Chains A and B, each alone.
Chain A
Amino acid sequence: MTADWIAFGLLAVIATVTAVMMILSHHAVYSALYLVLNFATIAVFYLLLDAPFIAMVQITVYAGAIMVLFLFVIMLLGMERVETTPSLPYQAPIAIGLGFALFLLLGYGLITSGGSTGAALSALTGSGFGSPTAIGELLFDRYLIPFEVTSVLLLVAMVGAILLTGKKRRLRQ
């Protein structure tokens, strides 16, 4: 019981601090690296919440592929620091105030929503919850059509990315 609380507290602090540092870093590369740490922390959360397959997907796809793409574009454009003076006066205090209001509303909704018992998560009844086998059986059985549509979506995204970054002359002709 206490070990779980310590793990949760530690991970929650790391996730929050890395998210804050991502926003505060003035160097975009540092922001990306803090976000990688945040994604890794959330992957550990997935492991603790009995989702090992999703945790591995999170590491390979999010912390691996997507963040490498981000770092590549940051370094390609050389746009590590582009912050200028704010266009709106008091933009940051207003944004933080609105964010705090949103957080209070989320907390209010969480507290007043029904079914909040405050009880700890019960032990799993069956074995193999969240395993690659269980996920695969569900994915290729009940969710087969969404899975195939996702492959088409990825293909469209690839074609779109190539067209957008291709030579302008080739587009016009």
Chain B
Amino acid sequence: MNVPTEYVIGLTGLLFTLGVVGVLVRRNAIVIFMAIELMLNSANLAFITFARAQENLSGQIFVFFVIAVAAAEVAVGLALIVAIFRARNSIDVDEVASMHG
């Protein structure tokens, strides 16, 4: 792709900002989780872009590891959400704000 690196990095910044706004605005725990995935993806896109600009494959290897860690994180996070839903019967982050079991 014959586009300057700065434009792609600007797009990753925009996507990351949208993820942050999603985390701040939404109160459904699952949607907050999806916004976190959006932020991870924007960081991955930045890695791939820099790997292409530097012609260094280590960036792509790092994205591979980030995807593996994200898969583990999603498995544990969704298990936590299911456990919280069983205990509180809600996944609204305002209603489950207290740590009290």
Contacts of A49 in B (CB 8 A): 1, 8, 48-49, 51-52
- Among B25, B31, B58, the residue within 8 A (CB) of A95 is B25
Contacts of B92 in A (CB 8 A): 82-84
- Among B1, B21, B75, the residue within 8 A (CB) of A96 is B21
> Beta-carbon contacts of A99-110 to B below 8 Å, as 1s and 0s?
110110011001
Report yes or no: B67 in contact with A107, Cβ–Cβ below 8 A. no
Range of interface residues on chain B? 35 or more
Q: How many A-B residue pairs lie within 8 Å, measured between CB atoms?
A: 231
Report yes or no: B1 in contact with A99, Cβ–Cβ below 8 A. no
- Give the distance in Å from the alpha carbon of A20 to the alpha carbon of B82 in the complex: 26
- Among A35, A124, A161, the residue within 8 A (CB) of B34 is A35
- Give the distance in Å from the alpha carbon of A15 to the alpha carbon of B28 in the complex: 22
- Chain B residues with a Cβ under 8 A of chain A: 1-11, 13-22, 24-28, 30-31, 33-35, 37-38, 41, 44-45, 48-49, 51-53, 55, 57-58, 60-61, 63-65, 67-76, 78-83, 85-86, 90-92, 94-95
Further pairs besides A19-B38, A103-B14, A164-B76: 7, Cβ < 8 Å: A8-B1, A46-B48, A54-B48, A61-B71, A96-B25, A134-B57, A160-B76
